Amino acid sequence: MPPHDTDFLERWQHPLVRDLAWLLLAPDLLALAWPGRPTRSALGLGTFERLHGYLDSQAAHPDALEAKAGAPGATRLGHYHERLWQHLLETAPTTRLLAHNLPIARERRTLGELDLLYRHDNDPTPVHLEVAIKFYLGLPEGPGEARDQARWIGPGGLDSLAIKRTHLERHQLPMADMPEAQHAISQRLGMAFGARLHQRLAMPGVLFYPYRHRIPAPHQAHPAHRRGQWLHWRDWSSIAAALPAQTRGACMGKPHWLAPPRQDELMPLAALASWLDWHFASGGAPRQLALHDPAHGWRRLFVVDDAWPRQVPLPPGPP
């Protein structure tokens, strides 16, 4: 995370407000043909004065944000991320949320759902926004050539950047043009709607590059995408020895994988290492860490067991 973002986030202590601030600052992982996330200007938060004011108001009166993003069932990262977007589109100065998780069905069979429908104050045409938040680890060897998106996989080894992009482009976004979607939108809005929607895709997250290897960014990677490093547990002592002595850190627990924790929540590196030693002694799951030192700011690491990856998902098939 760039230093200016680090300084910016330290203004707020509430974890949900910090995550909301991170969401407003984070670029998408990919630069695709589809329009990306709503800009801060489009949300009425284009200047830092307005952005500060909006986040200050959320911190001063967090009840609505807590009810939305902290509600039961929001512990899954994807659901939590969606609820942050719902709250943002409901409360930003120039947008209004029209619907979320709108089911699309054909003859009683659900085809899927549209994540978010909203509109701008100066444009009555609804905007369909699909959202996804992803954290992928890059493999030095794997399917395809060096920049293939199939080489970027989730920490659990079940998902890949290639699979997610393909699903969004072939299914989620085109679904809005189906007659069944037009019917569902008309019913939800209480008015006939036959026009083409504006569409956007928000896909923030972090791409973690391997500690022991230099690899290129995947095809279509956004130039400013967030970066981290991943390493096997056997390499922890090597990377820890190179860290500044003042480094402190914490394990980031889901669903709070967005903003780093408050600095007063960090533990000394030795204590963090002891916890990791205990965790990986029994083959623990991959863990994301946030590390901080005063000179260099924040860095993110994913630490995985020495047998990782135990599986690599196949690339998506042809259309």
Half-sphere exposure of 318 (CA within 13 A, CB side): 0
Among 15-24, 103-112, 161-170, the minimum mean pLDDT is found in 103-112
Please state the domain count of the chain. Answer: 1
Angstrom distance (rounded) from CA 185 to CA 102: 8
Is 313 a member of any domain? no
Can you give the pLDDT at residue 5? 55
Binning pLDDT at 50, 70 and 90, where does residue 194 land? low
Is 57 a member of any domain? yes
pTM assigned to the model: 0.94
263 contacts: CB under 8 Å, gap ≥ 6: 10, 248, 292
Q: Which of 260, 250, 245 is nearest to 295 (CA)?
A: 245
Is 139 a member of any domain? yes
Angstrom distance (rounded) from CA 249 to CA 260: 10
Angstrom distance (rounded) from CA 56 to CA 228: 29
User: Could you report the per-residue pLDDT of 35-87, keeping only the tens digit for each?
Assistant: 999 999 999 999 999 999 999 999 999 999 999 998 777 789 999 999 999 99
Print the domain residue range for 10. Answer: 3-304
Is 288 a member of any domain? yes
With helix as H, strand as E and coil as C, how does the chain read?
CCHHHHHHHCCCCCHHHHHHHHHHHCCCCECCCCCCCCCCCCCCCCCHHHHHHHHHHHHHCCHHHHHHHCCCCCCCHHHHHHHHHHHHHHHCCCEEEEEEEEEEEECCEEEEEEEEEEEECCEEEEEEEEECCEEEEECCCCCCCCCCHHHEECCCCCCEHHHHHHHHHHHHCHHHHCHHHHHHHHHHHCCCCCCCCEEEEECCEEEEEECCCCCCCCCCECCCCCEEEEEEHHHHHHHHHCCCCCCEEEEECCCCCCCCCCHHHCEEHHHHHHHHHHHHHCCCCCEEEEEEECCCEEEEEEEECCCCCCCCCCCCCCC
Is 171 a member of any domain? yes
Check whether 3 has a pLDDT greater than 60: no
- If one compares 302 and 74, the residue with the highest pLDDT of the two is 302
Is 215 a member of any domain? yes
Is 76 a member of any domain? yes
% pLDDT > 90, the chain: 81
Binning pLDDT at 50, 70 and 90, where does residue 196 land? confident
Is 30 a member of any domain? yes
